[in-house]
Amino acid sequence: MQSGKKELKKVNARVEKWRKMLPNIEQLIQTKNEKLKTRIRKGIPDGIRLKVWPHLGQIEALKKKYINQGYNCLIKQADFPYETDIDADLNRTFPNHQLFRDQKNTGIESLKNVLKAVSLTHEDMGYCQGLNFIAAAFMIYINDEESYYMIISLLENYDCKKMYEDVASIRKQLFVHDHLVEKFLPDISEHFEKYGIESITFGTSWYMTLFSSVLPFQYFLRIMDIFFFEKWKIIYRVALAMLKLKKKRLLNAKTFEEIFLVLKDFSEYENNTIDQDKFFKVACKDFIFSKTLIVELEQQFDVLNPPNENKKKNRPLQSRAKESEKLIIEDQHKIQEQQQQQQQEQQANLNLSHNENIEEKKDQDVNNFQIQQQQIENLSKLKVKESSQLKNLKQQLVLQHKPSSESNGNLSPSYTNENKEQFTIPKLYD
């Protein structure tokens, strides 16, 4: 009871501090105020977030920009190029959440309208898988129109459009991710390399949904708090924090499958095994790097992967969802190939070990046979020698006790019944 009152008092104190900052929020954002940065990292209180997000996302400027084609006008359009692709993703989006659980729910229709409006606003980009999770996560917290403008802000003000416009560009984010893992978590990087774990097999959904598809809702809200102020650095830091907090389990996993299962398991977040404040403290304090480093790594990627000169600049409208699905299928095939290769290597090692055991047994058998032959040969020589000795002894006794001509056929005086035992032939074996 006492601890509950203390926590409530702490929350109220934070809310009061934010209320005092609100009149000057625009200026604080523009000047990148350090106190504002610190408070955002601690999480914007729920009652204050709805007032702060529009300032962070520059929503009023976007509403003026699209005043002639606002949200309500866009959703009234009867036909649009990406309807089939959007419909296919609706039931895959947070199917356990009450807002999107049933096709008849208004949440499903609202989600379709938001995605429709986004695809019509940026027709050159269209629709891409990943946007559905971000849109739905916003809709749980704010209304449909505000969710639409928040996504437009992400696309235009936070360089997210590049990621969705060309799905393969996700590889650039993962290139940066891999180098940061190598820099800050070298043991995990080496472990992944040893077992053939590539970031594209698990990181695609992390980055393309800004973690909305994998982390609990409250985590997504706090990630967005920081992202709207600090941009992409927090996305990389969250990914690093997730790996660091799974480090022990990852390093204890000794096969591709075991590692992959650990990477796909987020139960520690769902059951609150990991403290939320601790998570963001790890993300923001343990991984310090500059924006310059990200830019340099992106430039390295561009040098290693030059753009296709033959790529058409004005290609016809087509579904980015299909491109994303193709990329996911390729990743799945890659995972299967790695698993098959690992299984083949394990079988080859088993066969090699079996063959080595057979050869070793053969060598032992040959060695034992040679020893037995030597023993037989030695025993034969001993028997021959003993047989020769016995024969010589018999001959000596015969010669010694041969009857003389003078004794008229009687035994020699030295071989009488009284002393014959002393001339008994000795036994060679007891």
Per-residue pLDDT band for 317 (boundaries 50, 70, 90) equals: very low
Query: Is 393 or 256 the better-scoring residue by pLDDT?
Result: 256
In angstroms, the CA 314 to CA 365 distance is 76
The residue ranking higher by pLDDT, 125 or 78, is: 125
pLDDT at position 296: 96
Of 177-181, 230-234, 288-292, 365-369, the one with minimum mean pLDDT is 365-369
Residue 243 has pLDDT above 80, yes or no: yes
Residue 399 confidence (pLDDT):
62
Whether pLDDT at 320 is above 50:
no
Is the model more confident about 295 or about 307?
Answer: 295
Average of per-residue pLDDT across 179-185:
98
C-alpha 218/C-alpha 215 separation (Å) is: 8
CA distance 274 to 355: 48
Return the minimum-mean-pLDDT range out of 58-62, 314-318, 327-331, 397-401.
314-318
- Residue 325: Cβ-neighbour burial (10 angstroms; 0-12, 13-18, 19+): middle
Tell me: pLDDT of 13 over 70: yes
Q: Tokens at residue 379, please? A: 């025993």
Determine the average pLDDT of the residues in 40-65. Answer: 94
Confidence (pLDDT) at 327: 55
Highest mean pLDDT among 312-316, 325-329, 357-361: 357-361
Kindly tell me if the per-residue pLDDT of 408 is higher than 50: no
Sign of CA dihedral 321, 322, 325, 327: negative
pLDDT above 80 for 319: no
Give yes or no for residue 66 having a pLDDT over 90.
yes
For position 281, what pLDDT does the model report?
96
Share of the chain above pLDDT 70, in %: 73
Q: What pLDDT is stored for residue 295 in this prediction?
A: 94
Alpha carbon of 290 to those of 39, 180, 206, 281, 300: distances in Å? 20, 11, 21, 17, 16
Q: Where is pLDDT greater, at 56 or 350?
A: 56
Q: What integer pLDDT is reported at residue 392 of this predicted model? A: 66
Using pLDDT thresholds of 50, 70 and 90, give the confidence band for residue 169: confident
Alpha-carbon radius of gyration of the chain: 42
Going by pLDDT thresholds of 50, 70 and 90, the confidence category of residue 78 is confident
Assign 298 a pLDDT band (cuts: 50, 70, 90). very high
Average pLDDT over residues 386-411: 55
**pLDDT band, very low/low/confident/very high, at 315 (cuts 50, 70, 90):** very low
What pLDDT does 404 receive? 47
Question: How many helices (H) and strands (E) are present in the chain, helices listed first?
Answer: 22, 0
Give the Cα-Cα-Cα angle 359, 364, 370 (nearest 5 degrees). Answer: 125
Q: Is residue 403 scored above 60 in pLDDT?
A: no
Q: Which of 61-70, 78-87, 123-132, 408-417 has the lowest mean pLDDT?
A: 408-417
- pLDDT (0 to 100) of residue 397: 57
CB count within 10 Å of CB 160 equals: 24
Task: For the chain, give the mean pLDDT.
Answer: 83
Q: What is the pTM of this model?
A: 0.73
> Mean pLDDT, to the nearest integer, of 381-405?
58
Q: What confidence tens digit (pLDDT) does each residue in 227-241 have?
A: 999 999 999 999 999
**What pLDDT sits at residue 277?**
94
* In the chain, where the domains are located: 1-53
Q: What is the mean pLDDT of residues 238-267?
A: 96
Which residues, other chains included, contact 404 with Cβ-Cβ below 8 Å and sequence gap of 6+? 412
Evaluate if residue 152 carries a pLDDT over 90.
Answer: yes
